[in-house]
């Protein structure tokens, strides 16, 4: 049981965690902090948080755990605001989609990353955003990756792990760089590809008609292009190197498929498509 939990940034991610912990009875009081007072008021009305503060010192006061749930691009500024008011006993964790950039931001904000700072990332979300979209089941059976550093306090890791488990998630640990490479492949690159495709088609002259004849496959394929552009702008800048690496690999493979289409190399197409189908079918199970 956590006595007082402070959520910095009460949107889809922070709000859903607060809801889950409240409904699990894992927290006594949830205090919200953020820049957008209307969102905080809405969060309080919805029962996601018990109260909110617009002063960071007041928000952090007496908090056992602070969850920083802001876009990765806002992370350093928020951590700098927190730094002068943070009790050394307070455990801090974040939910940023990129971990190298968050660790670097914490280093700059605090001098060194505090031992009780546990970088984390729940692999969950929807294309929606804002506290109104939050729900207690968001993390149910989802994976949460923690990337503690060598000097991170194991007790703090245990507390953060327990918090996510109480929200119904399965918690795993890995290195910061490994996290960023895996997520670049399965999350960041697909978002870049989906945004680019929808934009390419939208800019084609006949676009109204093009979308008119799109079917279910296209709808699924492009759903992630409805995600928050600001958040994905942040992620692309924050995980630049890992994204470029996997994007270049993908582009080379796409060029090979293009050559096969151009040359009418049916065997190559069948080989690539068949291998992909097998991998995708295995993934389903």
CA–CA dist 13, 79 (Å, integer): 18
| Residue number, 83 or 185, with CB nearest to its own copies | 185
CA–CA dist 117, 159 (Å, integer): 11
Q: How many residues does the chain have?
A: 285
Q: Given strand 65-68, what is the order of strands in its sheet?
A: 51-53, 27-33, 2-8, 65-68, 91-94, 117-118
3 state SS of 66 = strand
CA–CA dist 116, 93 (Å, integer): 8
Integer-rounded Cα radius of gyration of the chain: 21
Work out how close the CB of 65 gets to its own copies at its nearest, in angstroms, rounded to a whole number.
24
Work out how close the CB of 277 gets to its own copies at its nearest, in angstroms, rounded to a whole number.
5
Work out how close the CB of 204 gets to its own copies at its nearest, in angstroms, rounded to a whole number.
7
Work out how close the CB of 160 gets to its own copies at its nearest, in angstroms, rounded to a whole number.
18
| Residue number, 76 or 153, with CB nearest to its own copies | 76
Q: How many CB atoms lie within 10 A of CB 26?
A: 16
Q: Which two tokens stand for residue 23?
A: 């409904």
| Residue number, 25 or 208, with CB nearest to its own copies | 208
CA–CA dist 280, 285 (Å, integer): 9
Work out how close the CB of 171 gets to its own copies at its nearest, in angstroms, rounded to a whole number.
12
Residues in CB range of 284: below 8 A, 6 or more apart? none
| Residue number, 165 or 226, with CB nearest to its own copies | 226
Work out how close the CB of 214 gets to its own copies at its nearest, in angstroms, rounded to a whole number.
4
Residues in CB range of 233: below 8 A, 6 or more apart? 73
CA–CA dist 180, 100 (Å, integer): 7
Cα 27-93-82 angle, rounded to 5 deg: 100
Work out how close the CB of 102 gets to its own copies at its nearest, in angstroms, rounded to a whole number.
17
| Residue number, 29 or 76, with CB nearest to its own copies | 76
Q: Which two tokens stand for residue 268?
A: 């190559």
| Residue number, 108 or 275, with CB nearest to its own copies | 275
| Residue number, 85 or 142, with CB nearest to its own copies | 142
């Amino acid at each position: 049981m956590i006595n007082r939990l402070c959520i910095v940034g009460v949107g889809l991610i922070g709000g859903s965690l607060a809801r889950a912990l409240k409904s699990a009875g894992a927290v006594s009081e949830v205090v919200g902090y953020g820049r957008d007072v209307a969102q905080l008021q809405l969060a309080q009305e919805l029962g996601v948080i018990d109260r909110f503060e617009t002063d960071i010192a007041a928000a952090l006061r007496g908090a056992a755990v602070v969850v920083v749930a802001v876009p990765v691009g806002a992370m350093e500024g928020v951590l700098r605001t927190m730094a002068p008011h943070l009790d050394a006993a307070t455990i801090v964790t974040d939910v940023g989609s990129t971990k190298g950039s968050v660790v670097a931001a914490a280093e700059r904000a605090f001098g060194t990353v505090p031992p009780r700072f546990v970088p984390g990332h729940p692999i969950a979300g929807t294309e929606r955003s804002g506290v109104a979209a939050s729900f207690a089941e968001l993390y149910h059976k989802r994976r949460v990756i923690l990337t503690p550093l060598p000097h991170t306090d194991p007790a703090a890791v245990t507390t953060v792990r327990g918090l996510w488990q109480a929200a119904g998630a399965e918690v795993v640990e890995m290195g910061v760089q490994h996290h960023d490479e895996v997520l670049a492949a399965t999350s960041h690159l697909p978002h870049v590809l989906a945004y680019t495709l929808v934009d390419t088609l939208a800019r084609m002259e006949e676009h109204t008609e093009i979308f008119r004849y799109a079917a279910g496959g296209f709808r699924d394929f492009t759903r992630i292009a409805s995600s928050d552009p600001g958040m994905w702008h942040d992620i692309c800048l924050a995980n630049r190197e890992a994204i470029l690496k996997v994007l270049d690999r993908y582009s080379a493979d796409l060029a090979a498929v293009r050559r096969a289409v151009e040359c009418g190399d049916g065997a190559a197409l069948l080989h690539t498509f068949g291998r992909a189908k097998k991998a995708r079918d295995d993934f389903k199970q």
